């Protein structure tokens, strides 16, 4: 009887905790520098989430280590719902597969898959290649001479190009940055020649001609770049890499808080105004349940484990 009473009281306390939440501002950690796709989407959704919760959601950029520093900070944060992580597959899945990191995906409680988006292969206008096939021919003629930017060792941008190079049979030189923003800046300046980044941070530069898009990485063409073929149809059959942007909390966060956050995120991303804003960034709103997001993490972990093993991709 005492055990039953204790369980009931614990459940009530958890529910009360969830109903009172939040009593102070919430911090959403983005493990990359400002300007990248993760940061853009986190800021769009974080602002609306703050309004829904009645407390400010502060975006905290913590770049470094290909996303490891910020991700680990959330893994070690108190599981009280006041520290959240805006994550992609790079820091959450690929980094633990490619290098020694102090966390695993089990250190987090999935909240909601906020949005998905394909990557896009872009080159600086000085690169004499207007198609994927021309880029491959150029890379084969100059092995290791073309440099590509990424948002850090083990990041999704790193793995996306490494997989492209492996499937296309070319050698490209990797230049890791502390986030997508700095990588885009050097790509615009011509210090690096190409990259495969998420669509949101490079879309404005594609539209104004400062970058040239050769192919998108998803199964289908992007609604924001309908004239750009997929990499698969443009010369590398079977190539596909898509990004996702999810919200997580430290493992052990009360289920009532996780459920509240998931419900608010789903409502926010599915609202017509936010859907329009996300689509304009080349992202597709999702807003799934914690269980659905957990299933995506498990599926992608199995996928990238196989890809990394078969291609021999390594973090330099």
Interval 114-164: pLDDT, tens? 999 889 999 999 999 999 999 999 999 999 999 999 988 878 889 899 999
Can 23-116+243-311 and 118-234 be said to share one CATH topology? yes
Phi, psi for 114 (deg, rounded to 5): -75, -50
pTM to 2 decimal places: 0.79
Q: For residues 93 and 201, is the Cβ–Cβ distance under 8 A?
A: no
What is the fold, at CATH topology level, of the domain defined by 23-116+243-311? D-Maltodextrin-Binding Protein; domain 2 (3.40.190)
Provide the residue ranges of all domains of the chain, joining segments of one domain with +: 23-116+243-311, 118-234
What is the fold, at CATH topology level, of the domain defined by 118-234? D-Maltodextrin-Binding Protein; domain 2 (3.40.190)
Structure tokens, 180: 């997508």
H helices of the chain, where? 2-20, 37-53, 68-75, 89, 95-98, 132-141, 156-168, 180-189, 199-207, 231-234, 255-270, 272-280, 290-311
Interval 262-306: pLDDT, tens? 999 999 999 999 999 998 888 889 998 999 999 999 999 998 898
């Amino acid at each position: 009887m005492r055990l039953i009473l204790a369980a009931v009281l614990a459940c009530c306390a958890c529910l009360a905790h969830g109903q009172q939440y939040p009593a102070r501002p919430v911090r959403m950690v983005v493990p990359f520098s400002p300007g990248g796709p993760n940061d853009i989407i986190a800021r769009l959704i974080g602002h609306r989430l703050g309004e829904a919760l009645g407390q400010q959601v502060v975006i905290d950029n913590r770049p470094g280590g290909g996303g490891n520093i910020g991700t680990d900070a959330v893994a070690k944060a108190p599981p009280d719902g006041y520290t959240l992580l805006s994550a992609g597959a790079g820091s959450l899945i690929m980094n633990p597969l490619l290098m020694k990191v102090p966390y695993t995906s089990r250190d987090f409680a999935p909240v909601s898959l906020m949005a998905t988006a394909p990557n896009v292969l872009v080159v600086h206008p000085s690169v004499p290649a207007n198609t994927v096939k021309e880029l491959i021919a150029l890379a084969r003629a100059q092995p290791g001479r073309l440099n590509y930017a990424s948002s850090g060792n083990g990041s999704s941008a790193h793995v996306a190009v490494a997989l492209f190079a492996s499937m296309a049979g070319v050698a490209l030189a990797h230049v890791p940055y502390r986030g997508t923003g700095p990588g885009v800046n050097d790509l615009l300046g011509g210090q690096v020649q190409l990259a495969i980044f998420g669509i949101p941070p490079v879309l404005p530069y594609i539209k104004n001609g400062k970058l040239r898009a050769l192919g998108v990485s998803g199964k289908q063409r992007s609604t924001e770049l309908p004239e750009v073929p997929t990499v698969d149809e443009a010369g590398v059959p079977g190539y596909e890499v898509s990004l996702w942007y999810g919200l997580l909390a430290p493992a052990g966060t009360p289920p009532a808080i996780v459920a509240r956050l998931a419900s608010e995120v789903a409502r926010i991303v599915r609202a017509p105004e936010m859907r329009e804003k996300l689509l304009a960034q080349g992202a597709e709103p999702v807003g799934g349940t914690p269980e659905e997001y957990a299933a995506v993490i498990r599926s992608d972990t199995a996928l990238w484990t196989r890809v990394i093993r078969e291609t021999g991709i390594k973090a330099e």
